[in-house]
Amino acid sequence: MNRCSNCKYEYRYEDMFTASWKLKTPAPAPCPKCGKMHYISSHRMMKIYMSAIVINLLIMLCVNLFHIHSLVLLTLYILSLILFVIYIPILNKVTEFPESFNKVRLHSINEQERQ
């Protein structure tokens, strides 16, 4: 699990769950013990959402290839949604500073130009 960089408090599942579903970006995740502000990693969230899209595409592909009944499809989607909701807080990463996709991308492009 994630730890606070200030007081080494280990974030609980409930702390990560509430921080994971905030609509603000970057999603704030304050430390419950010392109050230091941390943020949910945007890069990790992107990977989680992309894996969810791939899983849904695989489910649709299997349904089309094997001509599975629509109730089975609905059941698979509901199960994948439940697993998605349960595992998002576990897979998330807390960072000390907010991340931005554009800043990281520009930074990596600048490093490549230097070499």
R_g (Cα) of the chain, nearest Å: 18
Mean pLDDT of 51-65: 85
Gap between the Cα atoms of 28 and 105, Å rounded? 22
Query: In the structure, what pLDDT confidence band is assigned to residue 112 with cuts at 50, 70 and 90?
Result: low
Is the CB of residue 104 less than 8 Å from the CB of residue 43?
A: yes
- The per-residue pLDDT for range 84-109, each reduced to its tens digit, is 888 888 888 888 887 765 555 545 54
33, 19, 32, 34: which is closest to 98 by C-alpha? Answer: 19
Q: What is the rounded CA–CA span in Å between residue 26 and residue 6?
A: 20
pTM: 0.66
**Per-domain boundaries in the chain:** 13-102
